[in-house]
């Protein structure tokens, strides 16, 4: 049976998490080896028998994992977007349900300010239902209410 997109995505996340753990452990081991090297002025040999100098040992700490780094950056980015959307929607819902006793103009400004933070993170917004629909819908409703209020004054 062919795996689903979601299953493949979960497998990728698991592999990336393991890779990040291995990268961290490798850096830790190289750091420990460099401390031994420095403390005892020990001679460390590479698998081919050549002697390893301190610079080579320190360079080993910089294991390059661009695919893992890119994937983890995307995960962090998506988490930030979800957090922004959650915060804006919670404020809009709190106001709409009577839990915020502030003028509509103030609530409108706050929700807009929170949602504008997404622009600072880039233009790749999620299409998964967590893209701030509630907050954005509430802003449209707030604007209509503000226009009505201005017309009655």
pLDDT in tens, 82-137: 889 999 999 999 999 999 999 999 999 999 999 988 877 765 545 544 457 778 88
| pLDDT score for 129 | 44
Note the helical H segments in the chain. 5-40, 54-59, 66-96, 104-121, 133-152
Residue-range domain boundaries for the chain = 1-63, 65-153
For residue 30, what pLDDT is reported? Answer: 73
DSSP 32-72: HHHHHHHHHT--EE-TTSPEEPHHHHHHTT----HHHHHHH
pLDDT at 152 over 80: no
**3-34 pLDDT, tens per residue?**
788 888 888 888 888 888 877 777 777 777 77
DSSP type of residue 102: S
- What is d(CA 113, CA 146) in angstroms, rounded to the nearest whole number? 17
- Tens-place pLDDT, residues 67-80: 777 887 888 888 88
The answer to whether residues 131 and 125 touch, using CB atoms and an 8 Å cutoff, is yes
Please state, in angstroms and as integers, the Cα–Cα distance from residue 149 to each residue in 40, 64, 95, 145, following that order.
78, 59, 17, 6
b/e 82-94 (16+ beta carbons within 10 angstroms → b): eebbebbbebbee
């Amino acid at each position: 049976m062919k795996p689903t997109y979601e299953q493949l995505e979960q497998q990728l996340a698991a592999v990336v998490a393991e890779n990040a753990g291995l990268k961290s452990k490798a850096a830790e081991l190289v750091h420990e080896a460099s401390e031994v090297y420095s403390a005892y002025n020990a001679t460390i040999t590479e698998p081919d028998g050549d002697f390893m100098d301190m610079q080579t040992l320190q360079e080993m700490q910089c294991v390059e994992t661009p695919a893992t780094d890119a994937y983890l950056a995307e995960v962090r980015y998506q988490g930030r977007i979800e957090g922004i959307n959650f915060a804006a929607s919670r404020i809009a819902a709190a106001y709409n349900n009577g839990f915020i006793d502030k003028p509509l103009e103030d609530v409108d400004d706050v929700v807009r300010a929170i949602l504008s933070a997404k622009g600072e993170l880039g233009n790749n917004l999620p299409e998964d239902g967590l893209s701030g629909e509630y907050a954005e819908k509430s802003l449209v409703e707030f604007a209509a209410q503000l226009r009505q209020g201005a017309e009655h004054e």
